[in-house]
Amino acid sequence: MVNRNYEVMLILKPDLGDQSRDEVIEKITKKIEDLEGKITSSKLWAKEKDFFYFLRGIDAEKKKYFKGYYWLIEFSLDGVKLIELKKIMKLEERLLRNLVINREEKAKLVTAA
């Protein structure tokens, strides 16, 4: 088991109440810890960032989101267990988008440039 350093940027729906937003944060945080990962940093930003995103439901109804809560987490986790974390994030309906980056690969790209 080799832990690698990752960062994930999550965008939560802007119309979530405080309790629902806190539940998502707790769920993802707990999942990382349950998978024997270690969170080194976690920061929730206010819904200040502008972006454009169409969410299509099963019934093909479109809902437009122009803002969202941005949440950045830095953590270490075994690469095999990352697959399970990605499944949980994909199934979470209160998340609009997520992007996981291997911080070690990111550092190599920055130093090579």
Determine the Cα–Cα distance for residues 84 and 11; give it in Å rounded to an integer: 19
Determine the Cα–Cα distance for residues 37 and 32; give it in Å rounded to an integer: 5
Determine the Cα–Cα distance for residues 51 and 72; give it in Å rounded to an integer: 16
Determine the Cα–Cα distance for residues 53 and 37; give it in Å rounded to an integer: 30
User: What residue segments make up the domains of the chain, in order of their start?
Assistant: 3-112
What is the model's pLDDT at position 50?
58
Helix axes 79-91, 18-34, angle to 10 degrees: 160
Q: What is the pTM of this model?
A: 0.79
Q: 3-112 domain in CATH 3.30.70.60?
A: yes
Q: What is the pLDDT of residues 6-62, one digit of tens each?
A: 999 998 988 888 899 999 999 999 999 999 999 999 998 866 555 555 555 555 456
